Amino acid sequence: MRKDRVDRDLGEELTSYVQLLTEKKMKEGMNEEEARRAAMLEVGGVEQVKEEVRANRAGFSLDTLFQDLRYGFRSLRKKPGFTATAVIALALGIGANTAIFSVINAVLLRSLAYRDPGSIVMVWERSLRGGRAQNSVSPANFLDWKKQCSSFAEIAASWDTRLNLTSGGEPEEIQIQKVSADFFPVLGVQPELGRAFVRAEETPGTEPVVILGHDLWQRRFAGNRAIIGQTVTMSGRNCTVIGVMPAGFYFLNIQIKAWLPLQLDPTTEWRKSGRFLRSMARLKPGVTLQQAQAELDGIGKQLEIAYPDYNKGWGVNLVPMHEQIVGDIRPVLLVLLAAVAFVLLIACANVANLLLSRAASRRKELALRAALGADRMRLIRQMLTESMVLAMMGGVLGVLLAYWGIQLLVAFAPDNIPRLHEITIDPRVLAFTFGISLLTGLVFGLVPALQSSRPDLNDALKEGARGSSSGNRVVRNLFVVVEMALALVLLIGAGLMLRSFSQLHQVKTGFETENVLTMRVQLPNAKYGQPQQRADFFKRAEERLAALPGVKSVGAISYLPLTGLASSTSFNLATKPLPPSESPGTEVRPITPGYFTAMGIPLLKGRAFDERDGATSRVLIINETLARKFFPGQDPIGQQLIVSWEPQVADEIIGVVGDIKETALEQEPNPAIYWPHPREPYPFMNFVIRAAIDPTTLSAAAAREIHALDPDQPVADVRTLDQVVAKSIARPRFNALLLAIFAGVALVLASVGIYGVMNYSATQRTQEIGIRMALGAKPGDILRLVVGHGMKLTAAGIVIGVIASLALTRVMSNLLFGVTATDLPTFVGVSAVLTAVALLANYIPARRATRVNPVVALRYE
């Protein structure tokens, strides 16, 4: 408003100047008409003077900005097709970047929801012999560290397990974390209601207490604040609720619904048991990670000397909390970020090309503006503003795309991606989007602006709308080459991931997954304290399930394969025992007799378990790997092993079964020992139900059979074996899917880009083509001419792309399975696909060019 007034004022001032000057000249003896003309001549152009004055005013930048914005919007509105194409391309690029950045922001950048998270560390045992840097922790070693280490303000331990919750609704198996009293102080988080644990509650035999998670409290207890002090029944024990944690609080495992005190009896000989704890600590102020690590290295050495049987070859390994949570997801995210950056660059090249083509048709307009007094800077600013308007429109649409993209991403992402639920579009993400939108506008706008603001006004005005300088053409061709190269790199990256995933998918599991239902049953200790009770329960459950119509066979095992869980220990050949620290490791899997049949694992030698093999039996079954490694060329049947869980007895091998992929599809099987369940009667077992029909139809009936045995007994994790396997490779599948989507977008953008350029250059060459045809060129010749040009660019792009890929895909090698980062079939295949798409994108405009009527073309001026 003010600006308008100032402008009007200036107009009046200049008019008055002209009048005064005219009068002055009339006084000097001119007649009125002469005087007026002379005055006008002296002033020059009123508009030019105004322009100069404006340029000298402080508010100048803002004024012209608004003016340019208005102008930009107007000229964009005049070309809706161009605007839409450009905005969509940019929105795809910016949207993809925003989505991936929002993931990076939540997972990598945002600090953890603990107090001073930088000084929290995980304390792992490091197994030198097993090559495991992050091994679970022995309670004995944990207690010794706690006693001896001075680097920590607090050190705590936790152990994830499951309980049956029977208060506040249907019986439900929930995951809980048993934690020592220092757990909450280490993380620096307080309950939102009630109190945290006190040290006295670490003593076994104290009255049981529980802290509820916010979600569980809301869901099962309706958020009732009076819950504090009340008791809830967990696995048959009445626990007093002492606190409720704030919403969103979790530690490493988001499934945890409640916390109970971890009670490590100091009188227990923990060095006879396994390593099963997680340990975390808060560094004292001023103590660095290196200092703490050095101190613990020393303590670890002493423990090795003091307890060689248990600790030889074991050290201590500190891992910063943040690293622990995001360490293995970081490379994937960085690869994805690179991928979306490429998509955005391609979009930029595309829009830059569109702008260049458009600038050519706007030359007359620009030349006119220049002639009317706009200097070159002014024109560049004008064009850049227009680019910025485009970029911002792309940015706004991009944020919308990202918003939906993130919903999809979170919905489809495997749940083992850390901090997934924390992904949001927060101010930092918006700032990022705004920043890249600006940058994008600059990147794609600058070259066209510089190109088309060149002051060869005469030529431009003469040549009319048709002209296109050769420099312009070179730049456009260059953009096409760059686009092709970028798209190729992305396609190769995606191709490698897809091939890797398909390799993974084809890995033989060693068992048959079709038509198998699985479910977990965990018996509460309070009710099933006696080993015999547990053995009986699972025996009877197996019988009942097997009797269901449609069921072919039923078995149960402690941990299902490919769920990442296993019990491990060491063993010895009875004939040549080694000291404990040197004896080989094995997984131990308690199973019921029907397990191998239900899983379809072949029995290679000997027999499977049956009802003879009870609690006192001294028999076991080994897998092929153990047989091959320890009994090469011998018959293992009848040989004896000593499993260190029961070092005083030797067990006889009665069977050998086929190897299965236990830990992960990409990992070779470890030696494994199967025990009959009554021998080591775990309170939880996973049922495997092989059906003749669709197994999911059996889930209700299967749960009913369990309830028939114990109405309070929940079943959990009911899913098919196919789902179990699929879940184990959910992450590589997700990575491959995301990269494939980005590469697909890149391919579309790049082919639209090359199509646009070819189409434009064919139109530019209409006259030339007309002459050629008039001189006798056949449509085939023309086709070759136009397509040949495009394919030259494509070939250049592919060569550059292949070279770049060879350098870049190396960073992905850790994410690949079964293919190398320079996999020849992928490189060749992807190049072929890109060539084919480019050929098509070239062919359509070339085809159109051949239909040119020479007479019309020659007149085309």
Partner 1 sequence: MNKREDEFTADLLQGTLDLLVLKALTAQPLHGLGVSTRINQITKGTFDVKPGSLFPALHRMEEAGWLKSEWGESENNRRAKYYSLTRAGRRQLETETEDWQRISLAIGSALRAT
**587 near 568, Cβ under 8 Å?**
yes
| Contact stretch for partner 1 (CB under 8 A) within 5-13, 209-217, 550-558, 852-860 | 5-13
**Percentages of the chain per state (helix, strand, coil), in multiples of 5:** 55, 15, 25
The verdict on 21 binding partner 1 (CB under 8 A) reads yes
Candidates 443, 448, 485; CA nearest to 469 is: 448
Q: Could you say whether residue 23 binds partner 1 (CB under 8 A)?
A: yes
Residue among 855, 477, 789, 476 at smallest CA distance from 781:
789
DSSP string, 578-604: --GGGSPEEEEEEE-TTHHHHHTPPEE
Helix (H) or strand (E) holding 291: helix 289-306
What residues does 155 pair with on adjacent strands? 281
Report the alpha-carbon distance of residue 276 to residue 278 in Å, rounded.
Answer: 7
Question: Of 54-62, 258-266, 302-310, 481-489, which part binds partner 1 (CB under 8 A)?
Answer: 54-62
C-alpha dihedral sign at 760, 766, 772, 778: positive
Closer CB to partner 1, 53 or 650, in the complex: 53
DSSP structure string for 123-173: EEEEETTTTEEEE-B-HHHHHHHHHH--SEEEEEEEEEEEEEE-SSSS-EE
Q: What angle do CA 385, 391, 392 make, to 5 degrees?
A: 90
Looking at 32, 33, 34, 48, which residue binds partner 1 (CB under 8 A)?
A: 48
Which of 12, 33, 459, 543 touches partner 1 by CB under 8 A?
12
Q: Which is nearer to partner 1, 16 or 268 (CB)?
A: 16
**Amino acid code (one letter) for 278:** R
Question: Could you tell me the smallest distance in angstroms from the CB atom of residue 108 to partner 1?
Answer: 48
Alpha helices in 547-691 (DSSP H): 595-599, 624-630
Residue in 8, 32, 37, 57 binding partner 1, rule: CB under 8 A: 57
Work out how close the CB of 19 gets to partner 1 at its nearest, in angstroms, rounded to a whole number.
Answer: 6
Q: Is 58 in the site for partner 1 (CB under 8 A)?
A: yes
In the block, residue with structure tokens 């308007």: 389
What is the C-alpha to C-alpha distance for residues 185 and 658, in angstroms, rounded to an integer?
Answer: 48
Q: Which is nearer to partner 1, 43 or 771 (CB)?
A: 43
Within 387-446, which residues bind partner 1 (CB under 8 A)?
Answer: none
Q: Does 32 bind partner 1 (CB under 8 A)?
A: no
What is the nearest approach in angstroms of partner 1 to the Cβ of residue 861? 30
Binding positions for partner 1, 318-377, rule CB under 8 A: 373
Residue 813 to residue 771: CA distance in whole angstroms: 54
Among residues 33, 37, 44, 860, the one that binds partner 1 under rule CB under 8 A: 44
Nearer to partner 1, 54 or 237 (CB): 54
Q: Which one, 371 or 565, has the nearer CB to partner 1?
A: 371
Binding mask 366-385 for partner 1 (x = CB under 8 A): -------x------------
Residue 57 CB, nearest approach to partner 1 (Å): 6
- Looking at 40-48, 129-137, 471-479, 834-842, which segment touches partner 1 (CB under 8 A)? 40-48
Residue selected from 3, 30, 38, 55 as contacting partner 1 according to rule CB under 8 A: 55
Name which of 13 and 582 has its Cβ closer to partner 1.
13
CA distances in angstroms from 274 to 131, 157, 647, listed in the order given: 17, 15, 14
CB atoms within 10 A of CB 856: 10
Residue with smaller CB distance to partner 1, 458 or 697: 458
**Under the criterion CB under 8 A, does residue 697 sit at the interface with partner 1?**
no
Q: Which is nearer to partner 1, 18 or 69 (CB)?
A: 18
Taken in order 175, 179, 184, 190, is the CA torsion positive or negative?
positive
Rounded to the nearest whole angstrom, what is the least distance from the CB of residue 23 to partner 1 in the complex? 6
Alpha-carbon dihedral angle through residues 734, 738, 744, 747, given to the nearest 10 degrees: -130
Our finding on whether 461 is near partner 1 (CB under 8 A) is no
Neighbours of 234 (CB within 10 A): 21
Q: Does 43 bind partner 1 (CB under 8 A)?
A: yes
- Interface region with partner 1, contact rule CB under 8 A, candidates 18-26, 122-130, 211-219, 475-483: 18-26
Distance CA 153, CA 756 (A): 65
Of positions 17, 71, 82, 276, contacts partner 1 by CB under 8 A: 17
The maximal CA–CA distance of the chain, rounded, in angstroms, is: 135
Q: Stretches 17-25, 119-127, 264-272, 506-514: which one binds partner 1 (CB under 8 A)?
A: 17-25
- Rounded to 5°, the CA angle 772-773-776 comes to 95
Q: Which of 3, 7, 30, 53 binds partner 1 (CB under 8 A)?
A: 53
**In the complex, minimum distance from the CB of residue 58 to partner 1, in angstroms, rounded to a whole number:** 5
**Closest separation in Å from C-beta 48 to partner 1:** 7
Angle, vertex CA 288, rays to CA 284 and CA 289, nearest 5: 105
Structure tokens at 206: 């104290």
- Minimum separation from the CB atom of position 43 to partner 1 (A): 5
User: Can you tell me which of 8, 11, 19, 629 binds partner 1, judged by CB under 8 A?
Assistant: 19
Taking contact as CB under 8 A, which single stretch among the options 36-44, 386-394, 644-652, 756-764 is the one that binds partner 1? 36-44
Size of the site for partner 1 (CB under 8 A): 24
457 binds partner 1 (CB under 8 A): no
Q: Minimum Å distance from CB 54 to partner 1?
A: 9
Q: Pick one of 32, 33, 34, 42: the residue that binds partner 1 (CB under 8 A).
A: 42
* Nearer to partner 1 (CB atom), residue 369 or residue 466: 369
Looking at the Cβ atoms of 10 and 771, the one nearer to partner 1 is: 10
- Whole-number Å distance between alpha carbons of 360 and 463: 11
Single out the residue of 30, 38, 49, 368 in contact with partner 1 (rule: CB under 8 A).
49
Least Å distance, CB 25 to partner 1, is: 11
Nearer to partner 1, 15 or 253 (CB): 15
Is residue 455 a contact residue for partner 1 (CB under 8 A)? no
Mark residue 320 as left, alpha or beta (left: phi above 0; alpha: psi -120 to 50; beta: remaining).
beta
Q: How big is the CA angle at 404 (ends 400 and 406), to the nearest 5 degrees?
A: 110
Query: Of the ranges 20-28, 196-204, 499-507, 632-640, which one interacts with partner 1 (CB under 8 A)?
Result: 20-28
Size of the chain, expressed as the number of residues it contains: 861
In b/e form, how buried is each residue of 513-547, taking b as 16+ CB within 10 angstroms? bebbbbbbbbbbeebbeebeebbebbbebbebbbe
- Shortest Å distance, C-beta 402 to partner 1: 43
Q: Which amino acid is at 676?
A: P
- Please, which residue, 21 or 69, has the CB nearer to partner 1? 21
What's the min distance (Å) between Cβ of 789 and partner 1?
42
With respect to partner 1, which residue has the nearer C-beta, 21 or 546? Answer: 21
Residues 6+ apart with CB under 8 A from 526: 235, 236, 237
In the complex, the residues that contact partner 1 under the rule CB under 8 A are: 9-10, 12-14, 16-17, 19-21, 23-24, 42-44, 48-49, 52-53, 55-58, 373
